[in-house]
Amino acid sequence: MTMMRLITALLLATFAYGACAADVSPGNWEITVTMRVPGVPQAFGPYSRNQCLQANDTKDPGRVFGALPGAGTCKFGNRNDTGSRYSFTVSCGGVFPMTGNGSVNYSVQSMNGELVLGATLPSPEGGAPQKVDTRSELSARRTGGC
């Protein structure tokens, strides 16, 4: 599993948590993710996918991670919902342990958010581990029924 796939899964879980906090409309959502790494001139993405969001899907975003080997477990904390903005901290175990924070601005038909993560990766040459920071942007819009 690549780190980008794990971050994408984490963003989808973030989207689901935001949907749980919000009264967003169930249905088909187009979700777009772009990831940036400081010091790397080009962004990764944008990557888009469609996801059918059922009302009960938002109740257990951990299911997003269930299908991803190596994803480990993610724990969300410091959750705060103002009615149009949802913010949180996150800590994940697994192949690429990471910690960070994020926020999602939402309405019934759209979401925009950001996720900032830090991970320590093993060096490919067996040297000292490398700290990698990422900043990912998420946008989502409801496109209709599932």
How confident is the model over 25-82, as pLDDT tens digits? 788 888 888 888 888 889 888 888 888 877 766 554 444 433 444 445 777 788 887 8
Peptide bond just before 46 cis, omega within 30 deg: yes
* 74 vs 102: which has the higher pLDDT: 102
State the DSSP H helix or E strand holding residue 17, giving kind and residue range, or none if neither: helix 3-21
| pTM listed for this prediction | 0.74
Q: For residue 31, how many other CB atoms are within 10 A of its CB? A: 19
Q: What is the pLDDT of residues 117-130, one digit of tens each?
A: 898 877 777 788 88
Q: Whole-number mean pLDDT of the chain? A: 75
Q: Return the CA Rg of the chain.
A: 15
